[in-house]
Structures are given as C-alpha cells and as structure tokens.
Amino acid sequence: MCRSLKLSDRAKGILAQRFDKTVWQDWQWQLAHTLTAADLNVPDIASFPMRVTPYYAALADFACPDDPILRQFMPSSEELLPDTYSTDPFGESAHAARAQGIKQRYADRVLAMMNVTCSTYCRHCTRRGLLESARCARLETLVEVVKSTPGVREVLLSGGDPLLLPDAEILRWVETLAALPQLDAVRLCTRTPVVLPMRWTETLVKALARSERVWVQTQFNHPKELTADAEKAVALLNNHGIPVSNQSVLLRGINDAPEVMTALCAGLQRRRVRPYYLFCCDPVSGIGHFRTSVETAQNLRKHLLTHLGGLACPRVVADLPEALHKTDV
C-alpha cells in the first residue's frame, strides 16, 4: 500500500536545498532545519515527537509508507498500542546509576550521557522514554567515577547524541578521558554517520585523532543508509586512525530479510566499518511492532554465518536486563 504524504511548504523549501551543496553540507544548517511531524502533516506522538534531519529525510521515499528510512523516523499509530513492556527495562534511570547521567552495568565499562537530544529521533529508540527528561553527566564527576573504579577500562560517551555538541566541548571530554592511563578506549556513540554525516568535519576528526584511544560506534540499519556522504564521513575517520564499528538493530519489515542484512554487512565491511553486533529489538514500550520472532533472528544468524566471513558477520545478540554480557541468540 502506498500513499503520498503532503509535505508543508517549509519542508519542500528545506528539501529543495539538497541541490545547494554549500548549504546542505553545513551540519549546523541541517540541525537548525530539522523536520517535524507538522512538516509532514502527520500526527505526532507527544511522548516522543518526530525530528529528522533534512539529509536523512531526503533518503526516504515519501510515496511508500514501508520505506525502510521513512519507518525509522515517521511516528506510527502502532507506537500507541497497549503492550506489557516497560519504558525502562534495563533500569537505566535507576539501578545502574553511579552519578547523574553516569551508568555502569558492566565491570569494565562506564556510560555517560553527554547530551539528551538527537538530530533524528529513531522510532525504535530504546531510550525513547528517557531522552530529554534525563540529566547529563558532568565531566569532572565522570573522571572521579573512573578513577575510583580501577576495573573500568572503557568509557562510552552517549546520549542522546554527543556529536550535537560543539567541537570544543567534545574535545574537552575526549582529551580529558583519553589522558587517564587506566582507560584503553573512549567510545563516541553516535548516529551522526548515518543521519548527519556532514557533522564529521576534517577539523574535528583531526583534533579527535590526536587522542589515540578514540573509537566511533554507530548504527547503520539498512543499505540505503550507505550513501556517498556517509562513506565520506567514515573514510575520514578511518583515514585518521579512528576505528568505526557498527551496532545494527534488528527491525521487523526494515532489515530482517536475509538479503538486506547481508548487503548491509558487506557494504559496511567495504567501507571499513566493522559490523559487530546485530541487536534484537529490546522489549521497550512503544516499539513492540519492530520486534521480530526469535526464530527470525536465529534464521538470520545462520544466513549471515554462511554468507559472510567473520569480519563482516555481526554477532546476533539480545540485551537481557540481568545478564552480565550480551546474550547470543
């Protein structure tokens, strides 16, 4: 079933700018011109409003509601169906907290929320109930937490999306953390290579590369996202020695077909992005319609193992609330 969306004049004007490279490649312009439900004339969802960058919106086929890009940012009435899932199955807002915005679920890793907003709100976001209302970590507190926990060897800077902050703030965090001898890695968790690839300017990447323990972790979910702009961003990172790894989320009707996931993983490897996890969609309230059966995940895993070499083949895992590690499906 296909039906056309009626775009607002504002949306049409913004999307027409894709032909002006100077404007389109300016990440701050992209952020200042994100599209909302009103721009697409669709009902919004108050608890998790729609927001999408012009860049990512322009990848979608607006004439087809099943388009894999459109479904990742377009609110759906299925999100409002009653379900038995929690908004916070992992107790992120409570039991794992070490300090404001700082969580520790695993002995060797600490996660800090650097920011509570994103440039594009993914409809499958497992933190959908926590974003914006959450409070950010303070760098000074994070340093204290790391130093007082000798087993911690890795810090994940997450959100929201930390890459929406100014360069100077990102560098302040990364350089401070990378200077701590106990840390082996500082991971920047961001979807910007997918939804806002122009955020990765040469100036920022060169400055980040000076802190030699930086990794970028992102979330490509579909081969349509492997655009020339995305390719340029990850090449810039790789060429400056910053490894890029990918955690996909398994989404019903978007990337659960074996040939789609195989193409994504092969495409990532071709661009030197390691596809290391494929997460089963978490049992979070409002995203049940994206969840696949366990059997689908298992069949997909078998398919990937027989069609891809180890470096291109992600582990198919589930994140279980009480587990001490990711659980293979």
The closest alpha carbon to 281, from 294, 262, 269, 272, belongs to 294
User: Is 121 a residue that touches ligand SF4 (CB under 6 A)?
Assistant: yes
- Inter-helix orientation angle 167-178/139-147, to 10°: 10
Residue type, 315: R
Residue with Cβ nearer ligand SF4 (31 or 143): 31
Which of 119-127, 179-187, 196-204, 233-241 is the region at the interface with ligand SF4 (rule: CB under 6 A)? 119-127
Is the Cβ–Cβ distance between 109 and 94 less than 8 Å? no
Is the Cβ–Cβ distance between 242 and 205 less than 8 Å? yes
User: Is 208 a residue that touches ligand SF4 (CB under 6 A)?
Assistant: no
Which of 54-62, 106-114, 116-124, 172-180 is the region at the interface with ligand SF4 (rule: CB under 6 A)? 116-124
Minimum distance, C-beta of residue 180 to ligand SF4, in the bound complex (Å): 25
By rule CB under 6 A, what string of x and - marks binding of each residue 160-179 to ligand SF4?
Answer: xx------------------
Minimum distance, C-beta of residue 10 to ligand SF4, in the bound complex (Å): 22
Site residue total, ligand SF4 (CB under 6 A): 9
User: Is 191 a residue that touches ligand SF4 (CB under 6 A)?
Assistant: yes
Q: In angstroms, how far is the first alpha carbon of the chain from the final one?
A: 33
- What percent of the chain is helix, strand and coil (3-state, nearest 5)? 40, 15, 45
Phi, psi of 52, deg, nearest 5: -150, 140
Positive or negative: CA dihedral 174, 178, 182, 187: positive
CA distance 112 to 137: 6
Minimum distance, C-beta of residue 281 to ligand SF4, in the bound complex (Å): 11
Q: Binding ligand SF4 by CB under 6 A: which of 14, 60, 125, 300?
A: 125
Minimum distance, C-beta of residue 136 to ligand SF4, in the bound complex (Å): 13
Residue with Cβ nearer ligand SF4 (115 or 292): 115
Which of 14-22, 36-44, 115-123, 309-317 is the region at the interface with ligand SF4 (rule: CB under 6 A)? 115-123
Q: What is the SS3 string spanning 246-290?
A: EEEEECCCCCCCHHHHHHHHHHHHHCCEEEEEEEECCCECCCHHH
Residue with Cβ nearer ligand SF4 (49 or 309): 49
User: Is 127 a residue that touches ligand SF4 (CB under 6 A)?
Assistant: yes
- Beta strands 185-189 and 214-218, pairing class: parallel
Q: Binding ligand SF4 by CB under 6 A: which of 57, 118, 163, 186?
A: 118
By rule CB under 6 A, what string of x and - marks binding of each residue 78-97 to ligand SF4?
Answer: --------------------
Contacting residues for 106 by C-beta, under 8 A, at least 6 apart: 324, 325
Query: What residues act catalytically?
Result: 105-106, 109, 118, 122, 125, 127, 282, 319, 326
Instruction: Name the helix (H) or strand (E) containing 73.
Output: helix 70-73
Is the Cβ–Cβ distance between 142 and 112 less than 8 Å? yes
Residue with Cβ nearer ligand SF4 (62 or 220): 220
Minimum distance, C-beta of residue 105 to ligand SF4, in the bound complex (Å): 16
User: Is 282 a residue that touches ligand SF4 (CB under 6 A)?
Assistant: no
**Residues near ligand SF4 (CB under 6 A):** 118, 121-122, 125, 127, 159-161, 191
